Amino acid sequence: MPRALRIQDPGFVHHVVSRGNNKEPIFHNDEEIQTYLTLLEYARKQYPIKIYNYVLMDNHIHLLLEPQEHGAMSKFMEFVQKEYAKYYNKRYNRVGHVFQGRYKSFLIEEARYFFACMRYIDLNPSKAGIVEDPNLFSWSGHRALTQGKFETLLKIDLHKLYEGLGSTDEERRMAYRGFVMVNQDELDLLNRKAGVLGSKEFRQSIKIRGVKGSDEENE
């Protein structure tokens, strides 16, 4: 299949999705999830990147990332996926792929889709029937964003749009929680190939960039 060009410049936010091979579980217990979170935090120190939200489900992950240097996201994801695959295969005395191909990513137009992607990520456990309230799910950024609780090994960065929700931490947390629980806008972010999520004008501006500022990625 043809390769898709992926913008890797600083200043662009990406919704990243990666699934287990054959949709099989990649996490069986808390220890494995904590290992993946540790790898994310370690990789961020090696490859400058901001992490605005995440959720780790049993057979797939969602991340909302913004690289701070050209190409940082691909290096970041390659490190995390390869290191976790090595850990997982050794743990279960197995060989072969842990993840289903390379990760998918959607470059998003922040003004229109940032909060929609945040909400989509937060509500994954609820839509899967695991919890009714996303605050009851431990392995996502939702508690940090709505309660200020950083209970996991991964630090959440606060995007400028999130910080604009209020003048105090409490105002921002309340406003964000209300948006997640009340807003009914839906985006079908998974039935797409890796690409750009935004208005016609935004997509055109990305197209004009051409190959410059991009790398190649299998879809």
pLDDT digits (tens, 9 = 90+) for 6-17: 667 788 999 999
pLDDT tens, position by position, 76-124: 999 999 999 999 999 999 999 999 988 998 888 888 889 999 999 999 9
Contact 194, 219 (CB under 8 A): yes
d(CA 140, CA 151): 10
Mean pLDDT in residue range 138-156: 84
Q: What is the pLDDT of residue 219?
A: 33
Q: Check pLDDT > 80 for residue 38.
A: yes
- Is residue 194 predicted with pLDDT exceeding 70? no
The answer to whether domain 4-205 has CATH 3.30.70.1290 is yes
Q: Give residue 207's pLDDT band: very low, low, confident or very high (50, 70, 90).
A: low
**What does the pLDDT average to over 32-44?**
95
Average pLDDT, the chain: 85
* Tokens 């400028």 -> residue: 160
- Write the CA distances from 142 to 65, 68, 93, 149, 159, integer angstroms: 15, 23, 34, 9, 14
Is the pLDDT confidence value at 31 over 90? yes
182-199 mean pLDDT: 61
Give the pairing type, strands 13-19 and 195-197.
unpaired
Sorted by where each begins, the domain ranges of the chain are 4-205
* pTM, rounded to two decimals: 0.85
Is the pLDDT score of 70 beyond 60? yes
Banded model confidence at residue 204, pLDDT cuts 50, 70, 90: confident
pLDDT, position 218: 33
Tell which residue, 208, 200, 64, has the closest CA to residue 124. Answer: 64
What are the backbone dihedrals phi and psi of residue 104, each rounded to the nearest 5 degrees, phi first?
Answer: -95, 150
CB burial of 17-28 (b: ≥16 within 10 Å; e: otherwise) equals bbbbeeeeebbe
Say what percent of the chain tops pLDDT 90.
63
Residue 74 pLDDT > 60: yes
Q: Please give the structure tokens belonging to residue 61.
A: 């992950």
